[in-house]
Structure 1
């Protein structure tokens, strides 16, 4: 978390630093910033946008087969070389993405109101990188702590911590 009574490190900002953001890169030196809430969000966007977009998977060509005997047939061939049929079956591949989400809430026995602890872990699509990311958030009301960890597809890890009361 940000050091007490420190100012946001964002150029020109005089707000108190309430968040500590750490970026661990697989191919570069780690960085740590002490920022206000608004600039904490901005630095996470900048870190994400600074990484290379995920490579585009190669497109799978459509497969053409004879509709009669199943022989592979060229798209330019008018007839099947094996049986002479003009019927065709064209197979086109599709991709389906399944995302997971897990939520946990901790309440003390007999307690009412908000849980003292919450955690959430989820897969998320990052548009700036055209790739999946993993996000984990912990909220601990007893310890007044908030932590968010974002792991990008390339291994870059962004961790933001703060006092929950500053969040």
Structure 2
């Protein structure tokens, strides 16, 4: 006599429930407007903070270039990218070059040697890239993509500033 097939409880299987829960979680994270109240003040604040951080980094590049003009060839392409990042965060449109808005009295201190100045820029780039990467979960789609892209560029800048000196 053959054994009867095992009894299966009626209703959805555990896998189906887990897949549905995972899919629902993904859909919640992918909504078009993360702030259904219409005000995206948190997004605006994050964008303004990112623009300010980029302008501050731009001021650091300008200060280093003022003290160490011999680094211009090496730093100019990186500075141009930082200016484009500041512009992208400032208005959310296509990046355009931006002049540093730092006044001479607000200029960051610059180390006396080129090597130390490059190390300081690399540390600033790395720190900002890390902060931006940590901010990603708190911002919506397009701004998160921009932050991630700029964080990756900052990490690459830090690498170029430190490895290029070797």
Structure having the higher Rg: 1
TM-score with structure 1 setting the length: 0.23
Which has more helix, going by share of residues?
2
Which has more strand, going by share of residues?
1
